[in-house]
Amino acid sequence: MAASVKIIECPRDAMQGMERFIPTERKIDYINALLRVGFHTIDFGSFVSPKAIPQMADTAQVLRGLETGNTSTGLLAIVANIRGAEDASAHSAIRFLGFPLSISETFQKRNTNKSIAMAMEELRAIKEICVKANQKLVVYISMGFGNPYGDPYETATVVDYVGRLGEMGADVISLADTVGVATETEVETLFNAVSQTFTDLEIGVHLHSRPDTAHAKIAAAWRGGCRRFDGALRGFGGCPMAGDQLVGNIATETLVDFFTSQGVDTGIEQGELDRAMAIAASIFE
């Protein structure tokens, strides 16, 4: 049987930093097109303060317009606190709640206005909300490959947090290179460490990269044992809360090209991907 990979499409990550508000109907049309492509999951929106991320203020309205009846693709919404998790848990169409946990104290405060210790406490409560709503918890370890703030970082720290999150009951843990600082060697080293230590956990990667290093980073994560990859069509995206020069997401089409060339089953319908790419070009022009 051919190897397979889970590809997660992140239109929310691509949209959230745009200054021009994307009309709700255009978001609905775009995400409905993505639902026909064959992605494992779509990170489609967030239940966070509209003052912090104005572009995502219409997430609940977008959700009502999505055609989820004829797709196996799951919907993921980002939350940053208990209130957001409670709001998201009220929508049965949402399968996953995603929470950004930074191992950089500076970035955790910038991103969610709380300390790492406070965020860990909130995560325990959010996990309980997920259990009650029959939703799964995806935790993103932000700044998982280093940070630009001079905060302490080492591979052992990431391994420690993966273990703590696994004990807490996180269903998926995704290692995020939030500002695109990781090298190919660092990606492979970290994934070798976590995949060998935690054989029973689903651990993915959310890479940001410039196009010239994207293939090498994807290959490094794959060699290290990663089987779950986030991307955004045409490589748009970046975290507006980082406040630094943004490096875009790994382009989804780059992921598909890489895995197709390796004979890995992506589950992607190429014709539907091409149609979604055309819509993306008009939204992110």
Calculate ∠ Cα 34-184-14, nearest 5°.
25
The stretch 30-43 carries a mean pLDDT of 98
What rounded mean pLDDT belongs to the chain?
94
pTM across the whole model: 0.94
Say which amino acid occupies 62: V
Calculate ∠ Cα 199-205-211, nearest 5°.
145
pLDDT-based confidence at residue 236 (cuts at 50, 70, 90)? confident
Tokens of 81: 């606190």
Q: Which of 10, 130, 226, 239 is flagged as catalytic?
A: 239
The stretch 233-246 carries a mean pLDDT of 62
Instruction: Using the predicted structure, report yes or no on whether residue 1 has a pLDDT greater than 90.
Output: no
CA dist 13 and 155 (Å) reads: 25
| 226 assigned to active site | no
The stretch 130-153 carries a mean pLDDT of 96
What pLDDT score does 242 carry?
A: 44
What pLDDT score does 179 carry?
A: 87
**Fold that domain 6-283 belongs to in CATH:** TIM Barrel (3.20.20)
Tell me the residue ranges of DSSP E strands in the chain.
6-9, 41-47, 74-79, 94-102, 136-142, 172-176, 202-206, 228-231
What pLDDT score does 238 carry?
A: 57
What pLDDT score does 248 carry?
A: 80
pLDDT-based confidence at residue 239 (cuts at 50, 70, 90)? low
Question: What phi, psi does 274 have (nearest 5°)?
Answer: -65, -40
Nearest CA-CA partner of 250 in 217, 284, 203:
217
**Lowest mean pLDDT across 27-31, 133-137, 149-153, 177-181:** 177-181
Domain residues of the chain, as ranges?
Answer: 6-283
The stretch 2-14 carries a mean pLDDT of 94
Q: What is the pLDDT of residues 61-71, one digit of tens each?
A: 999 999 999 99
pLDDT-based confidence at residue 283 (cuts at 50, 70, 90)? very high
Query: What share of the chain has pLDDT > 70, as a percent?
Result: 96
- Helix intervals (H) in 153-266: 155-168, 184-197, 211-223, 252-261
What pLDDT score does 241 carry?
A: 47
**How far does CA 227 lie from the centroid of its chain?**
14
Nearest CA-CA partner of 31 in 90, 93, 118:
93
